[in-house]
Amino acid sequence: MSTPTETEIPLRQRVAENPQPALIWAAIGAVLIGVELGAILQVIAAIAGVIINLIPGDPGAAALSSLQESLKTIPTLVSRDFIPNQGYWDGSQWVGTFLGLSPAAAWAVRVVVVYAYAFAVLAWLWNGYKRYRQYYRRVDWTPRDDVVNRFRGHTWGQFGLVITIAFVVMAIFAPALGPTTMEENILQPYDYEVSYWDEETQSVETALVGEANLGSGSQGAGDENVGPMSYDDYGRFHPFGTATNGKDLFTQVVFGARISLTIAVVAMGIAGIIGLSLAMITAYYKGLADLAIVLASDSIQSLPVIMVLILMLVIFQGTWLKDLYDGAVLIILIFSLVYWPFIWRSIRGPAFQVSEQDWIDAAKSFGQTPGQVMRKHMAPYVFSYMLIYASLSLGGIIISVAGLSYLGLGIAPPTPEWGRLIADGQQYVASPSWHISLIPGVLITLVVTGLNAFGDGIRDAIDPQADTGDEAAATGGGA
């Protein structure tokens, strides 16, 4: 019997023959996961809770709620309990903060730790890829190496990657990054108390968070403004200042980033699945199937996207679908239905090119079903194109969500959303309370620019000869 060549040895056997690089990498990963195990389990439980809430009758909701409370007791590195910043001045020192630091310093330490942990995880993943290339990959070179090398030399794309990572970390670690919690400062402020140093009585007093918010609103000049990087009268630190209702603006911004990212990624994921599936069908069957989808796509694309969004939101206003997660589910569904034609148009041309290759005819002659041919031999070659145009569309969805919320049609209060923050602070742009609308506006601009730059970098890395014009890219391959 002939012995297998090096390229035929399975990955598991290659790792078994040289386990040290993989074991070192796995050990580092175990440490990174271990310090955040409690938070990871809480995320899994939260996702399970979302699924259960969609099921009539909420089966197992009570048991899941008890499990979530138990998971909160597991200590994690990047958590509010490990590095607390909410404390009070007792006349001589700060009480209840990390190492007795001021709330501002303790919050800054936690932010640094969060981003350091995030970049450590990314470095670990990149190191794992390099170890795989060096020790376990079957061949010395693949086309993916050229893609990675081209992107590493793409300065504009790297700028977009940094902005995108910062935005994603902000969304994922929103509970740890905020100087206060969502429940305490935004959702249920009258269920919590805040301790503070009263200069008049020279003693520590307590007040309901809701009452403290009423006295800390930013509505102009003088005493009616708590600007960025400042404390309110209750000793609470506000990195971005407060909103008009006295609630912490930074907390609303980071949780608004989570809402925007979730809507954009889920909606584009659904639209991508629809677009990719229809591209496979049109490229494989052609003829009437292609014509029918072309007509459906053209019908949707002929309508102004923002008008369709507004119309659908108005139609479903007051329905149970609009109430699901403050309108987020409805917005995701609408974006999915509106954006799939753009994805389909973008990958239709490459799908047709793949369908004409010799290996497709060979797969058919070997008796593979249409589903197998499309899934195994066509979709993998088109997926990279879908990834390019999906990444370029994320910024448009974020802007649209902000625009709808600005008009009062998007995410419903009290869930934070960047567009609604801009609307709330619009009348104070020319006053000392400029931060309410300007900071979310700058963040939207920066994030959308970063996502577009990242998408440009991916496109140029995957297909360096691609036409840089958005219109030409979107047409995919003609009718």
For residue 320, give the CATH number of its domain: 1.10.3720.10
The pTM is what?
A: 0.87
68 with 88, same domain: the answer is: yes
Q: Would 463 be classed as within a structural domain?
A: no
**For the residues 199-203, what does the mean pLDDT come to?**
88
Q: Would 136 be classed as within a structural domain?
A: yes
328 with 448, same domain: the answer is: yes
**For the residues 192-218, what does the mean pLDDT come to?**
92
Given a contact cutoff of 8 angstroms between Cβ atoms, the answer to whether 232 and 242 are in contact is yes
What pLDDT is attached to residue 477? 38
Supply the range of the domain harboring residue 377.
257-452
427 with 310, same domain: the answer is: yes
Position 332 pLDDT exceeds 80: yes
Cβ count within 10 A of residue 462: 18
Q: Would 159 be classed as within a structural domain?
A: no
Position 471 pLDDT exceeds 70: no
Q: Would 303 be classed as within a structural domain?
A: yes
Q: Would 432 be classed as within a structural domain?
A: yes
CA distance 223 to 249: 17
CA distance 41 to 163: 27
Q: Would 446 be classed as within a structural domain?
A: yes
298 with 446, same domain: the answer is: yes
**For the residues 415-428, what does the mean pLDDT come to?**
92
Give the angle 361-362-368 at the CA atoms, nearest 5°. Answer: 90
More confident residue, 465 or 428: 428
What pLDDT is attached to residue 5? 53
Closest by CA to 286, choosing from 375, 379, 353, is 353
Position 93 pLDDT exceeds 80: yes
pLDDT above 70 coverage of the chain, percent: 93
Position 462 pLDDT exceeds 60: yes
The string of pLDDT tens digits covering residues 448-458 is: 999 999 999 99
More confident residue, 6 or 242: 242
What pLDDT is attached to residue 253? 96
Q: Would 160 be classed as within a structural domain?
A: no
What pLDDT is attached to residue 56? 63
Given a contact cutoff of 8 angstroms between Cβ atoms, the answer to whether 185 and 398 are in contact is no
What pLDDT is attached to residue 469? 43
The string of pLDDT tens digits covering residues 254-289 is: 999 999 999 999 999 999 999 999 999 999 998 898
Q: Tell me the sheet residues that pair with 94.
A: 89
323 with 235, same domain: the answer is: no
268 with 376, same domain: the answer is: yes
201 with 231, same domain: the answer is: yes
Q: Would 470 be classed as within a structural domain?
A: no
233 with 374, same domain: the answer is: no
CA distance 285 to 351: 11
What pLDDT is attached to residue 476? 38
81-102: b or e for each residue (b if 16 or more CB lie within 10 Å)?
eebbbbbbbeeeebeebbeebb
Q: Domain boundary residue among 247, 273, 291? A: 247
303 with 202, same domain: the answer is: no
